[in-house]
Amino acid sequence: MTIKIIPALMSTLLCFSAGDLLAQEQSSCKTMRIADIGWVDNAANNSVLVVLSEALGYKPKKTMVSLPITLASIQKKQMDVYLDYWSPSTDETVKPFRDKKSVKISAEPNMRGAKYTLAVPTYLYEKGLKNFADIARFEEELDGRIYGIEAGSGGNKQINKIIGENKFDLGEFTHIESSEAAMRVAVARAIKKEEAIVFLAWAPHPMNLQFDMTYLAGGDDYFGPNLGAAEVYTITATDYDQRCPNAAKLVSNMKYTVEMEAALMDRIMQKEDPNDVARDWIKNNPQWLDTWLADVTTIDGKNGLDAVKKHLGI
């Protein structure tokens, strides 16, 4: 009789332990810690992830920090996800973490066809400022300034490197580091007065629709070939797919297009709530759910696609 009872008790205990472990995993993974570095494109791709993860039962938490702090926080497992690693423009910032393998970089980009380099208003391009090598000739009109975004960004680092190395005879130029929003205000003000300005620009971004602007050639050694052609990658904590396999699968499924992000960013820049914008976009483009939710369940193991459709009323 004892021989029959002991296996039964052990089976009960094992079942309890497995369930308890599962509950603990769900509890620790429920909060999805997402980095937000303040770029509008980062707000756009984050918003899609936030809407989907909420529908699956997660509690996404966005924290706005600089890129260097983002990488350090993911390395320390204090954050889980960063969706906006632009390569090659931010390679220098990411390289120490990649070399130490202290963060995990997605094998495939989450977006192709992006670009990131310096640009000018088209009227200035037509006056002859068409190449990085032309900037120095327009030093007086430019007041010796190049406009970047927030300190620590990959693009800013490249501008600082160019100035520091006196490349293109730009050693006496001043780099104006502020924020994406402040840079766009400066560009809008200059264009309104038809003044000269050189600024950091990228696509996807509504600035390409807002401004009549042209990208400069010649910056291949710093921003990459083909006018700063870029790919965007996802970075996660090294153990995220082991700690939170379902959440990590959702994150790895997140893919975007330049056109998609431009549409999202346009509305976000009009001060609409990013999550509301993402919900509307998903409802109007439900075919993307098959990509994003492939092999993804709710946090409690139910059909993920059905749950998201029900949550969003699709």
**Domain residues of the chain, as ranges?**
30-113+230-312, 115-228
pLDDT higher at 3 or 96: 96
* Residue 233 pLDDT: 98
pLDDT higher at 10 or 134: 134
Are residues 44 and 281 in contact, defined by beta-carbon separation less than 8 angstroms?
A: no
Among 126, 90, 108, 92, CA closest to 228: 90
The domain made up of 30-113+230-312 is a member of CATH 3.40.190.10: yes
* Residue 186 CA: distances (Å) to CA of 148, 178, 197, 229: 10, 10, 9, 24
Strand partners, 146: 175
Query: Per-residue pLDDT tens for 32-55?
Result: 999 999 888 999 999 999 999 999
pLDDT higher at 276 or 18: 276
Do the two domains 30-113+230-312 and 115-228 of this chain adopt the same fold? yes
Name the burial class of residue 204, with classes exposed (0-12), middle (13-18) and buried (19+) by CB atoms within 10 angstroms of its CB. buried
Q: What is the mean pLDDT of residues 242-253?
A: 97
* Residue 26 pLDDT: 64
* Residue 43 pLDDT: 95
Confidence tier at 153 by pLDDT (50, 70, 90): confident
Enter the DSSP assignment of 109.
-
Q: What is the mean pLDDT of residues 190-219?
A: 95
Enter the DSSP assignment of 197.
-
Q: What is the mean pLDDT of residues 103-110?
A: 98
Q: What is the mean pLDDT of residues 136-148?
A: 98
Whether pLDDT at 152 is above 90: no
User: Cβ atoms within 10 A of the Cβ of 46, count?
Assistant: 25
Confidence tier at 13 by pLDDT (50, 70, 90): very low
Whether pLDDT at 21 is above 60: no
Whether pLDDT at 170 is above 80: yes
E-only strand ranges, the chain? 31-36, 59-64, 81-87, 104-105, 111-121, 145-147, 174-176, 199-203, 213-215, 229-236
Enter the DSSP assignment of 303.
B
Q: What is the mean pLDDT of residues 257-271?
A: 92
Give the Cα separation of 278 and 289 in Å (integer).
12
Are residues 265 and 121 in contact, defined by beta-carbon separation less than 8 angstroms?
A: no
Q: What is the mean pLDDT of residues 47-65?
A: 97
* Residue 88 pLDDT: 87
**In whole numbers, what is the pLDDT of the chain averaged over residues?**
91
* Residue 17 pLDDT: 37
The domain made up of 115-228 is a member of CATH 2.170.8.10: no
DSSP states along 15-69: HHHHHHHHHHHHHHHSEEEEEE-S-HHHHHHHHHHHHHHHHTT-EEEEEE--HHH
Distance of CA 28 to the CA centre of its chain: 24
pLDDT higher at 9 or 253: 253
Query: Per-residue pLDDT tens for 265-301?
Result: 999 989 999 999 999 999 999 999 999 999 999 999 9
With both helix axes pointing from N to C terminus, report the angle between 40-55 and 274-284 in degrees, rounded to the nearest 10: 70
Whether pLDDT at 25 is above 80: no
Give the Cα separation of 49 and 80 in Å (integer).
13
Give the Cα separation of 170 and 145 in Å (integer).
10
**Pair of tokens at residue 230:** 């870029």
Give the Cα separation of 115 and 117 in Å (integer).
7
Give the Cα separation of 212 and 195 in Å (integer).
13
Strand partners, 236: 81, 104
